[in-house]
Structure 1
Amino acid sequence: MKLAFSTNAYLRFPFDEVAERIASLGYEGLELLADVPHAWPAGLLEGPKRAILSAMERNGLTFSNVNAFMMNAVNDARQPYWYPSFIEPDPHYRSVRIDHTRRAISLCAELGAPHITTEPGGPLAPGQSRAEAIDLFVEVLKPLAEHAHNLGVLLLIEPEPGLLLETSDQYLEVAERVNAPSIGLNYDVGHAYCVSEDIPLAIAKLAPQIRHYHLEDIAATRVHHHMVPGTGAIDFPEVFAAIRKTGYDGWLTVELYPFGDDPDAAARGAFEFLSPLMAPANGA
């Protein structure tokens, strides 16, 4: 397993500086934010793409993931991360999310990253039934999954509290209906804790689907607010033991976007807490 850090905590810094900071703290990988100010796909020219790759190489970093969940560039007044969503009733506004995701998939392939993560459908709109929203979400995902498959990358869904898909079982319902080899799960440990999921059990059950992990801590209240690992209530030794049992050897990306005022301190604290857990238990 390898530790990475998401650039969504570093919105006040240009990408080349972000890469240097993350590498200096000891991380092997970096999750690229497909959004302003780092890599908004709709406005990313060839020069900035080459500069991103150059900064990664210069700092000895590898892409853990491309984060296409957030859409700060659109800046919807309701919530700039969730909206527009895949289940927007307005087809024209819905297409903004769809087109962004398609561009992010293409960017992922161009940069040589393994996959993108995306939202699990936004909150239900007034008068929208869950069944209608699921049907719409599935139909929207199918051509995106095909696009990802054609480019050799994965499209990972990330369940989140308050959105259409909150739990692992809800993810499975959609994944089975889409039935595409390019669809996978981004298992966010903090989100799972918020919805009171049995995390070790879920990890074991979903191991064939999990292609990437997000890590953050959550308070004992289970309120969805990302905290530095080791400062909340999640039992990370138990989580790491569960991941290790599945044989997973991919990326664990720390996601601490609320810490924009001092992202270095948050990233450093997370690294110092999580690094000892990366070693196999008892040297095994």
Structure 2
Amino acid sequence: MTDTGAAIRIGINPIGWSNDAMPELGADTPLETCLSEAAQVGYSGIELGGKFPREPAVLSQILSTHALELISGWYSGNLIEHSVEQEWTLLQPHLELLKSQGCRVLVYAETWHESFMETRRPMSSRPVIDDAQMHDYATRLTDLADRCLYDYNMRLAIHHHIGTIIQSDSDIDQLMALAGPSVGLLLDTGHCLSAGADPVAVLARHGARVCHVHCKDVRAPQLQQALGEDMGFMQAVLHGLYTVPGDGCIDYPALLAGLKAIGYQGWLVVEAEQDPQVANPLVYARMGYDYLHQSARSAGFEISR
């Protein structure tokens, strides 16, 4: 669990306004629009996006103007090919930026081969590793996570993601069994369900490791079509696979009850990859916030600004 105070906080990812994996989605949307609309809705924080400045003072100024905090930021890792020393060196600028903003969690995804970035590459063709490779990967990931804690007081949260080596519930189970306790789990509800896993069940098994939560929802008909046609990940996104909490089929009351039961005290981050020309970012940001805020209160959470 993250130690961020006595209450949860609700934040958002800028991906509804501008998509870094497919830059043409929201390419013309200024960062100012994203930040002002997120603040207008009532979010307390926002995750890092490709349009954000990387100079700490500049970033602090632009966020403070909108009364937003930086929650964390995605890092595309490659520990499959890099040594721990190589990865640690490459990670330094990102960690320094997060540290400058007071972040306590690092969003770390293993993006070896980056198959999910290829619009039409079938989701079934994602890279896989054998048991020996997973054991080695978990050992090196633990080393990296230990360094993040020791040097930056920051928890590494591994992001299971469609199209990566950590995708299915069995991948998550195996990694959590092999990795040391410094390796936290980013529970992404949409990626869980898209991979055939139940996010509530994953939380029940690994609640002690959950240190960050991405809250997206899944449209069941689009999921069935994406799986049936073996679409590429971004192809499925364009087809409307994801939406904000409360607009899909995920059982958020059960998920939030599970988070309350384990005493979760971190961020709930609304994140829904959609085409902003189809799904108006402000409309969906408000829809996700209102639903999550109400549902979290109903689950017994206190919500802090």
State the TM-score, normalizing by the size of structure 1: 0.76
1:253 match: secondary structure: strand
Amino acid at match of 1:193: L
1:87 corresponding residue in structure 2: 80
Q: 1:176 to 1:51 in 2, by over 3 A?
A: same
- Work out whether 1:141 is the aligned partner of 2:141: yes
Structure 2's unaligned 5+ residue stretches are 1-7, 19-26, 116-124, 227-232, 234-240
1:50 corresponding residue in structure 2: 57
Any conservation in 2 of the 1:7–1:31 contact (CA below 8 Å)?
yes
Q: What is the Cα deviation at residue 212 of structure 1?
A: 0.7
2:296 corresponding residue in structure 1: 278
Q: What is the Cα deviation at residue 168 of structure 1?
A: 4.4
Amino acid at match of 1:230: G
Query: Can you list the C-alpha shifts for 1:139-186, whole angstroms capped at 9, x where unaligned?
Result: 5524532431211111110112332112344234334434252x2110
1:208 match: secondary structure: helix
Structure of greater relative contact order (alpha carbons < 8 Å, 6+ residues apart): 2
Q: In the alignment, which of 263, 268, 271 is matched to residue 281 of structure 2?
A: 263
Any conservation in 2 of the 1:98–1:140 contact (CA below 8 Å)?
no
2:106 match: secondary structure: strand
Any conservation in 1 of the 2:13–2:270 contact (CA below 8 Å)?
yes
Any conservation in 2 of the 1:215–1:252 contact (CA below 8 Å)?
yes
**Bigger shift: residues 243-252 or 170-179:** 170-179
Q: 1:217 to 1:85 in 2, by over 3 A?
A: same
Amino acid at match of 2:214: H
State the TM-score, normalizing by the size of structure 2: 0.71
CA distance in structure 1 between the partners assigned to 2:301 and 2:128 by the alignment: 52
Q: 1:199 to 1:142 in 2, by over 3 A?
A: closer
CA distance in structure 1 between the partners assigned to 2:142 and 2:135 by the alignment: 11
1:174 corresponding residue in structure 2: 175
Amino acid at match of 1:242: G
CA distance in structure 2 between the partners assigned to 1:27 and 1:171 by the alignment: 29
Q: What is the Cα deviation at residue 195 of structure 1?
A: 2.6
- Work out whether 1:105 is the aligned partner of 2:95: yes
1:56 match: secondary structure: helix
**RMSD over aligned Cα atoms:** 3.2
Any conservation in 2 of the 1:185–1:212 contact (CA below 8 Å)?
yes
Q: In the alignment, which of 247, 250, 254 is matched to residue 231 of structure 1?
A: 247
Amino acid at match of 1:87: I
CA distance in structure 2 between the partners assigned to 1:241 and 1:259 by the alignment: 31
What is the correspondence of 1:1-284 to structure 2 with a 5 Å cutoff? 1-11=8-18, 12=27, 13-33=29-49, 36-39=50-53, 44=54, 48-69=55-76, 85-88=78-81, 100-122=90-112, 129-131=129-131, 133-135=133-135, 137-138=137-138, 140-149=140-149, 150-179=151-180, 181=182, 183-220=183-220, 221=223, 223=226, 225-261=241-277, 262-281=280-299
2:230 corresponding residue in structure 1: none
Q: What is the Cα deviation at residue 236 of structure 1?
A: 1.7
Q: What is the Cα deviation at residue 227 of structure 1?
A: 1.6
Query: Can you list the C-alpha shifts for 1:185-229, whole angstroms capped at 9, x where unaligned?
Result: 100011111233233232122111000100111122354632222
Any conservation in 1 of the 2:75–2:107 contact (CA below 8 Å)?
yes
CA distance in structure 2 between the partners assigned to 1:282 and 1:30 by the alignment: 23
How many aligned positions are there?
Answer: 256
CA distance in structure 2 between the partners assigned to 1:195 and 1:127 by the alignment: 14
The percentage of aligned residue pairs carrying the same residue is 19
